[in-house]
Amino acid sequence: MNRAFFLVVLLLGTGSFAGARPRSGNVGPEATLNAFIQAFDDLDWERFRSFFADDATVFYPRGIARRAHGRFEIEANFRRVFAQIRGDRTQPPYMDLKPRDLHIQRFGEIAIATFHLDDHPGMVNRRTIVLHRVGDDWKIVHLHASEVAAAIK
């Protein structure tokens, strides 16, 4: 698996998300996404894994053909992703993901965030994150990553 796969695997981290890094307690999905992206950029394993619900699912854009079901499978895949991205570097941030065209829809206890990444030349990388409010926290219940060839103009 190459670095481009790992950068595409996840998502976000825009100026619109810069700032607060809430851990929990009555925050909205936007702040949760910001904190999630920051944890991913920093490869902060404990924080990163805390954003996923135990029964979450993940579709990866390439390299992993099948859907990951539940914490065990998701964490096994992302441990490899983290190791690949980190390489022999020792200081965060390890990435600076920049989503564009962010759109968040809220439906009561559910929020759906969609956006694009520009981290794989010639491709349009699409992301969808579904969050579910559990008490005061928002948990990722599904992450879908896909890509299509960019239109030639």
Does residue 37 contact residue 11 with C-beta atoms inside 8 Å? yes
Does residue 126 contact residue 147 with C-beta atoms inside 8 Å? yes
Three-state DSSP state, 58: strand
Per-residue pLDDT tens digits for 60-116 = 877 788 999 999 999 999 999 899 999 999 999 999 888 889 999 999 999 999 999
Please tell me the class of the 3-149 domain: alpha beta
Looking at residues 133-138, what average pLDDT do you find?
95
First to last CA, the chain: 30
Residue 91 has a CB neighbour count (10 Å cut-off) of 6
Q: Which pLDDT score, from 0 to 100, does residue 55 have?
A: 98
pLDDT band at 124 (very low <50, low <70, confident <90, very high): confident
Per-residue pLDDT tens digits for 14-70 = 333 333 344 445 689 999 998 998 999 999 999 999 999 999 999 987 778 899 999
- Per mean pLDDT, which of 4-8, 38-42, 149-153 is the most reliable? 38-42
pLDDT for residue 135 is more than 80: yes
pLDDT for residue 11 is more than 80: no
